[in-house]
Amino acid sequence: MLNKFLKTLYNKVFVNIVVQGTKSMVYVEICSSNVKPELITNAYAEFETASLNSKMLEFINSYTKETPYFYISVLDSSLEQGVIPTCEKNRLSYFADVSASEYKCTQHDWTYFTSKTDLYATEKKYHKIGVDFIFSPFSILVHFFKDKISSTLSMYILIEASSLSIAVFNNDKLLFGNHSNLYDISETDGLSSGDLEYDFDLELDDGIDLEDVALESSDIDFIDDFGDIEDLDAIEDIDEFSVHRDLEEELYQATKKASDYATEENIQSDSTKDYLRFTLIKDSISTYYKDEKYESEFIENVYIADSVGVSSELKKYLEEEMFLNVYVRQVDIAVEVCKLSKMEFSQ
């Protein structure tokens, strides 16, 4: 009884942390003491750190010191995370090795998983402020596109600074999911590179609570042979292929320079990043169609939640190269994390 009374005296503070590359975005909402908190004020800050430095700690403490009721939420940034289209424990290992993972079934009959080691590392990194919730990027994706996921068959993509979370839903049923790191393109993709500073031109005219957790990156083949470089190079006498051949040759020559794994330091241009994103999306679609583990149905529509401001060339390339209908929405991930945090609090 006393605890309930005290809660009516203090505002509630929701602190939300999203790490994007070498930066941390912190979004704070101060809300009323109601059962369903109402926003009083908010604040946003960006810090040049992927951990908790003194400036970031000072900023957070300035909002939490006045109340005992504050909640710290973090977006899961583990590379070893994903989703599985079942909640049957005896079938989880059919889709992914979850022996070193924490996992939880959702109310929609599919499972989040993430690395135990990375979860513990996150808790340790923020031990000075504590962590109440760690949300999966797939949680963000599902909530952000809830108006579409419940009624359509489509692919949904959350684009972060250094990763992609990709899922296929059919009327609220998960068919496929994949989480990939932008700077870990495998050699089998023809993109392994320590020298990816080449500025790609993707235009085709002239001349893409700790309980909620998300898929491991995998080495996969291209979806089809539409972009086969050797075949296009052999068709030198057909004029109508010349523009497309020039584009493919440009991309091919650029990626031939690659020799080591791509890193954040040597991938600088936006067009290079968008080409890598296009490659990861193409690879994921290939896995979805070709891997017999997944119940694949033909995809026509792709919905992108863009948190970084990708170029128009990514959308154009997906549409013209892969014949997809692509719709892009801008998303502030830290704000979306806060929405999930308040939903958890209100339950």
Tell me the domain boundaries of the chain.
2-76+335-346, 181-331
> What local confidence, expressed as pLDDT, does residue 193 receive?
37
Cβ–Cβ under 8 Å, residues 83 and 166: no
Those residues of the chain that have pLDDT short of 50 are: 186-247, 249-261
Pairing mode of beta strands 153-159, 301-306: parallel
Our CA angle for 132, 145, 42, nearest 5°, is 45
- Taking the C-alpha atoms of residue 211 and residue 116, their distance in angstroms, rounded to an integer, is 12
CA distances from 222 to 96, 191, 279, 289, 322 (A): 21, 12, 8, 11, 11
Q: Which residues contact 15 (CB under 8 A, 6 or more apart)?
A: 26, 27, 28, 60, 63, 64, 70, 71, 72, 73, 129
Q: Is the domain 2-76+335-346 a CATH 3.90.70 member?
A: no
**pLDDT for the residue numbered 220:** 37
| 3-state DSSP helix/strand/coil % of the chain, to nearest 5 | 35, 25, 40
Tokens encoding 162: 């250094």
d(CA 32, CA 13): 9
Greatest alpha-carbon span in the chain: 84
Q: Is 321 helix (H, G, I), strand (E, B) or coil?
A: helix
Taking the C-alpha atoms of residue 183 and residue 185, their distance in angstroms, rounded to an integer, is 6
List strand residue ranges (DSSP E) for the chain, in order. Answer: 12-20, 23-31, 39-47, 70-75, 81-84, 101-105, 111-115, 133-135, 153-159, 163-170, 173-181, 301-306, 325-330
What is the pTM (predicted TM-score) of this model? 0.77
Identify any residues that bridge with 306 across adjacent strands, giving them in sequence order.
159, 330
Q: What is the pLDDT of residue 345?
A: 79
DSSP code, position 187: G
Q: What is the pLDDT of residue 196?
A: 41
* pLDDT for position 266: 53
Helix (H) or strand (E) holding 290: helix 270-290
